[in-house]
Amino acid sequence: MHTIEKLTAILTHIKNIYIGKEEVIDLLGICLLARENAFLYGPPGTAKSAIVRTLSSSIINGKNFEYLLTRFTEPNEIFGPFDIRKLKEGELITNTEGMMPEASMVFLDEIFNANSAILNSLLTALNEKIFKRGKENKKLPALIFVGASNVLPEDEALNALFDRFLIRIKVDYVNIELLQHVLIAGRKLENHTNLEPIPAINPQEIIELQSLCRTVNLHSVYEAYLKAIIELRNIGIAISDRRAVKIQNLIAASALICGRNEAILSDLWVLKYTWDTEEQIELLEGIINRIIEKDDKANAHIQAFKNKSPDPEELMKDFNLLLYNWENASNDFDEQNLIKDKLRYLQTRCSWLPNEDQKKFILKEIDGLWKKILHS
């Protein structure tokens, strides 16, 4: 079996176990190929840990590290204790056996409980895949870091940590329509009945795929990608230069996992997961969907056109906020333009409402606000 087919088989197997979690699993596959970090955000009981653990178990001959962080977690719980024998000789050398610096796949649960004692070493590990502690400097074999949390960071000191996770995935409870399938699949999993052995891949094969990912041709999407980054920055979504460079690896991974060595427009779907706040999730989806819907190429990634229908109540809340902001806006030109931009994106999101009556009602309200704007 070809190496990329091995990875695809693993992802398919995991999707058959965790019903309704296809988006999460496919995105973890993209991050593994791109060798970029993923952050899972959602309430307890949404299979975040279980999915990562199952993916870890598919990597044979690899060492995996998983840890639940608390405010009191000490560096030696993550990186390993100092070697006592070396310490007696006056050297500070870490015994990393079985710890994060030797792991192929790293999963850190409740990542924002990280305290200042481990934060600097963790930031370097996540960003540069290097372990630094005192005079120690060691290249890490980690293929991917996955962080998870039930909350988003509120402390500014943790923003740098959040920034190290290129992809952010909101993991929620499954749709009620799938609940029966989830119950049946979950029962089988707990009882270990009718479970096929998980396909396997070794770390070296993944490393080869990661190298191949760097060779994917992105030339045909550069113009659209550049425009997308500029548009996102203009509406306040902070895509730094460093993140903009790294996101290219995700675009390439989307192409590679589809068996292509050249990116197409729909591969920009990965940009939907570069949000900083929950409020940006639908907004990003609207912008990126509008860009990629022009793609008529075959063999797009399965997640590219899986649009989520917006919540009509949330749309009305957003509209009422824009109406209030406009009626109370100052004469600041930039502020007025920002309101207009947000109103345009709100209008785009309305077009995906499945209920025609709800769509007509909200679009009528939006049209009324546009008239106010034009006559002001």
What is the extent of the structural domain holding 349? 312-374
> Which residue shows structure tokens 């996540």?
126
pLDDT digits (tens, 9 = 90+) for 91-142: 777 888 889 999 999 999 999 999 888 888 899 899 889 988 777 788 999 9
Query: What percent of the chain is modeled with pLDDT above 90?
Result: 45
Tally of domains within the chain: 3
CA distance 87 to 93: 7
Q: Cβ–Cβ contacts within 10 Å for residue 300, how many?
A: 20
What does DSSP say about strands 130-133 and 136-139: parallel, antiparallel, or unpaired?
A: antiparallel
184 and 227 housed in the same domain: no
Inside any domain, residue 198: no
110 and 179 housed in the same domain: yes
Inside any domain, residue 201: no
Domain boundary among 191, 226, 251: 191
171 and 250 housed in the same domain: no
Of the ranges 45-54, 231-240, 288-297, which one carries the lowest mean pLDDT score? 288-297
**pLDDT score of 361:** 92
102 and 174 housed in the same domain: yes
Domain CATH for 36: 3.40.50.300
Inside any domain, residue 206: no
Residue 194 pLDDT greater than 70, yes or no: no
101 and 158 housed in the same domain: yes
62 and 176 housed in the same domain: yes
Inside any domain, residue 306: no
Inside any domain, residue 125: yes
pLDDT digits (tens, 9 = 90+) for 245-260: 999 999 999 999 999 9
pTM listed for this prediction: 0.80
283 and 367 housed in the same domain: no
Residue 285 pLDDT greater than 60, yes or no: yes
60 and 152 housed in the same domain: yes
Q: Cβ–Cβ contacts within 10 Å for residue 71, how many?
A: 9
